[in-house]
Structure 1
C-alpha cells in the first residue's frame, strides 16, 4: 500500500503542478504580462513545484534527509537520467544560446551548497543568500533575453514554454484551484508514504529522497526532455535540465531553509553532494566544446545512474542499521 500511495502522491504532484502552471500562465496572459516574464518566473517556479512541496512537507515532518535528498537526487537524476535516456534514442546537441553561462552557474551553486552545508545546517541566512542569487539570476537572464530580442536573435527559454494555457476565466480558475489544493495534498501523501517505505525497506529516509522520490519529482523534466528530443529540439532538453538544477538549489533549498532550517546528514557531505558536483562538472566539456550527447554518452550516463542508485540503497541500509 505505501508504494501505491507514493505513486498516487507523485502523480498528484505532477498533474496538479502542471495545472497550476498552465492556470498561472493563462492568468498572466489575461493580465497582459509578457511571455518572457512568464517563462522566467511563473513557469520556472511552477516546474519545480513538486520538489518544493515535497521538501517543505518533509522538513515540516522532521525529515530533513528526505528534504535535501529530494533536491540532490533530482539534480543527479536530471543529468544522468533525464539527459542520458533520451540520448539513447536521439543525439542531444549542446549549442543552446547561454548554455555555457548557465552550466557554469549550475556548478557554482552546487559548490556553494556544499560550502553552506559544511556546518551541517542550511540556515535562514543561507537560504536568504540562495534566494537572492536566484533573483539575480532571473533578472540577469531577463535583461539578456531582452537584449537578444532587440538584436533580432533567437531566444531559447530557460524553461519549456506552455503553449496550451487556458484563455477563459472559468478554466483558469479551475486550474489554479486544483493546483493550489492538490500540490500540498500530493506533497503530504508523497512524504508520508516515502517515510513508510524507508521503514519497510530498512533504509534511511535520505535514500528514499535521493532515489524514488527524486525520480518521481523529475518526471516532468524527463517528459519534457523526451518530447524535445522527439521534436529534434535537443537544445531545449539540456537547457531544461540545467535550468531545473539551478532552480532546485536556489529556490527549493533556499525557500525551505528560510522557513525551516535544514540539518545536513553526514552522507550528503561524504558522498551525494560530490556526485552531484562531479556530474555537473562532467558535462561542462561537452557544453563548452559543443559536443553532442549521443548513444555512447547516453549509455554511460544511464549506467552511472543505475550504479548510483545501488550505492544509495546500500548506504541507506547501513545508515538505517547504524553502521554508516
Structure 2
C-alpha cells in the first residue's frame, strides 16, 4: 500500500510541475510562431496531452481489446468536459470572449459522428482512415483560420526568450505530465485492487480518467495564469483529437464495430456535454465556480452510476490488464 500511495503522490506532483512547464512553453511557442494561444491549445497542447489516450487505445487495440480503446475515448472526453473544465473553473473562473465557438461546433459534430458509428455498428479500416484524414483537415483549417483570440492577452514576462527555450519547456513539461499521469494511474489501480474495487470500475473510470490527467493539469495551470484560450482550447482540441485521431487509429488497427454499450447512456451524456459546452461558449461570458460545480456534480453522478452498474464485458481480466500495461 505504501508504494501505491507514494506513486499516487509522485504522480500528482509531476502533473502540477509538468502542467506549469507545458503552459509556459506553449505560450512561448504561440508568441514566436505568431499564432493565438487558442490555436496553440487546440493543436499543440490538445495533441500533446492526448498522447496518453493514444498510447492506451492503440495498445488495447493491438492487444485485441477495442472495447477498452473506445471506452477510453468516450470516458476521456467526458472527463475533459465535465471534470477538467469543472475543476479549472473552481480553481479560477474562465473568461470567455468569443473563445472556441467554431471548435465547439466541430467537437459536437465529431461526437454525433461517433454516436452514429456506435448506433450503426459499422466497423472498417476505411472509416479509420477517413477519421485520420479528418484530423488533418481540421489542423489545416485551424491554422489558416486562427480566429479572433490573440496572444496580446498574455503577460510578456511569462514568455520564454526564444523558440528553443519554449520548445524545451514544452517537451519537458509534456514528458513530466505523461510520467506523472502514468505514476498516478498505476498507484490508483494498485489502491483500487487493495481495497477490492471491482475491476470493471477500474477499467471504466480509473483508466479513462487517468489518461485525461495531463489535460487536467495543463488546463488548471492555464486557468491559474489567466490563459482562458489555452484552457478551453486544450479541452476542445483534446476532445476532437480523441475521436478523429485516436478513434481513427483504433479503427484502422482493429476494424470492428464500436461496443454496443456505448449507444446508451454514455454516448447520450457525451453528446449532451458537447451541446452544453457549445451553448456556454455562445451565451456565457465566463465559466464560473457555480457552473464548474454543476459540471463536477454531473461527472460524479455518472461515475457513481458506473460504480453501481455491472458490466460483464468490461470486467474481463485480460482487457483490464492490457489497459493497465498500456499506461505503465
Q: Shorter chain as normaliser: what TM range?
A: 0.7 to 0.9
* Among 41, 48, 51, the residue aligned to 2:50: 48
Q: CA deviation at 1:270?
A: 1.5
Structure 2 partner of 1:211: 205
Q: Does 1:142 align with 2:143?
A: yes
Partner in structure 1 of residue 155 of structure 2: none
Pair 1:285–1:266, CA change in 2 (3 A): same
After superposition, the Cα gap between the structure-2 partners of 1:320 and 1:216, relative to the gap in structure 1 and judged at 3 Å, is closer
After TM superposition, give the deviation of residue 226 of structure 1 in Å.
Answer: 1.3
Q: Which runs of 5 or more structure 1 residues have no equivalent in the other structure?
A: none
> 1:106 Cα shift?
0.4
> What displacement does 1:183 show?
7.3
Q: Superposed, which structure 2 residues align to 1:112-131 within 5 Å?
A: 112-131=113-132
Query: Residue 105 of structure 2 corresponds to which residue in structure 1?
Result: 104
CA distance in 2, matches of 1:41, 1:89: 24
Deviation at 1:224, TM superposition (A): 1.7
Change (3 A) 1:288 1:309: same
Q: Whole-Å Cα distance in 2 between the matches of residues 69 and 282 of structure 1?
A: 21
How far apart in 1 are the matches of 2:307 and 2:125?
A: 31
Backbone CA RMSD of aligned residues? 4.4
Residue 65 (structure 2) aligns with: 63
Q: TM-score, normalised by structure 2?
A: 0.72
- State whether residues 74 and 218 of structure 1, in contact with CA within 8 Å, keep that contact through their aligned partners in structure 2: yes
CA deviation after TM superposition for structure 1 residue 76, in Å: 0.6
C-alpha change, 1:202 and 1:224, in structure 2 (3 Å) is closer
Cα displacement (A) at 1:167: 3.7
Q: Which residue of structure 1 lines up, in the alignment, with residue 285 of structure 2? A: 291
Specify the SS of the correspondent of 1:307: helix
What is the correspondence of 1:144-293 to structure 2 with a 5 Å cutoff? 144-145=145-146, 154-155=149-150, 167=164, 201-204=197-200, 207-293=201-287
Provide the aligned length of Structure 1 versus Structure 2: 297
Map 1:29-40 → 2, pairs under 5 A: 34=33, 36=35, 39=40
The CA deviation string for residues 187-217 of structure 1, in whole angstroms up to 9 with x for no partner, is 8x979x969968x64343xx53431122211
SS at match of 2:97: coil
Tell me the residue number matched to 2:84: 82
Provide the secondary structure at the position in 2 that maps to 1:88: helix
Q: How does 1:7-22 map to 2 (within 5 A)?
A: none
Question: How far apart, in 2, do the equivalents of 1:163 and 1:123 lie?
Answer: 45
Unaligned runs of 5+ in 2: 153-157, 317-328
Residues 121/14 of structure 1: CA separation in 2 closer, same or farther (3 Å cut):
farther
Change (3 A) 1:34 1:95: closer
CA contact (8 A) 2:74 2:270 kept: yes
For residues 319 and 309 of structure 1, the distance between their equivalents in structure 2, rounded to whole angstroms, comes to: 18
8 A contact 1:77–1:305 mirrored in 2: yes
Per the TM alignment, residue 93 of structure 1 is displaced from its structure 2 partner at its CA by 2.3
Decide whether aligned partners of structure 1 residues 44 and 270 sit closer, same or farther in structure 2, where only a CA change above 3 A counts: closer
Q: Give a deviation string over 1:155-182, Cα, whole Å, max 9, x none.
A: 369xxxx9669949xx97xx79x96xx9
- Give me the whole-angstrom Cα distance separating, in 2, the residues matched to 1:133 and 1:256: 14
Change beyond 3 A, Cα 1:42–1:306: closer
CA distance in structure 2 between the aligned counterparts of 1:92 and 1:287, rounded to whole angstroms: 11
Measured at CA, do residues 163 and 245 of structure 1 come closer, stay the same or move farther in structure 2, by a change above 3 Å? farther
Confirm or deny: 8 A CA contact 1:66 1:208 kept in the other structure: no
Alignment partners' CA distance in 1, 2:5 and 2:124: 34
